[in-house]
Amino acid sequence: MELFSNDYVTISLDESIPCLEWIGKKFISSEAFRESEEKSLSFYRDYVTKYPNLQWYVDARKVGAISHNDTEWVAKSILPHFAMLGLKKEAFVVPESAFGKVAINDYKSESGDTIKIEVFDSELKAKTWLREV
């Protein structure tokens, strides 16, 4: 179920997992990225009561590089709120580029151990992992 869409990202709810989906469409500016993260948090807050095991799926294959400042901002300003609301897992599908993987590894190290974050090469693998309790 689509919750939000603009030129850069679509945010939706996959009730079969259940997970919030953040799907990037193209390179995203810092401002648009941060706005989308805040919207994701707001939607998570809205739906976690109905879906207590709600997880987070991120498809960043088309987004390109996210700056260190933005990944650090998410890790310090957004993820703690997700964790307080009960998020346990976040699954990423990332570009094959080494830079994309480095950015996600940087993000993982900044976010600590509260939320388990894994990187996958396909939506199927990511969502299979999210379904596991």
62-89 average pLDDT score: 90
Scanning the structure block, which residue is given the tokens 């390109």? 64
The first and second tokens of residue 60, run together, are 């960043």
Distance CA 43, CA 123 (A): 21
30: CATH: 3.30.750.24
Task: Give pLDDT, residue 98.
Answer: 47
Total number of domains in the chain: 1
Is the CB of residue 33 less than 8 Å from the CB of residue 70? yes
Residue 74 φ then ψ, to 5°: -60, -45
Task: Please give the residue range of the domain that contains residue 39.
Answer: 2-131
Q: Is 130 helix (H, G, I), strand (E, B) or coil?
A: helix
Over the stretch 4-49, which tens digit does the pLDDT of each residue have?
A: 999 999 999 999 999 999 999 999 999 999 999 999 999 999 999 9
CA 76 to chain centre: 14
Residue type, 56: W
Q: What is the SS3 assignment for 112?
A: coil
Q: Is pTM, for the whole model, over 0.85?
A: yes
Rg value, the chain, Cα: 13
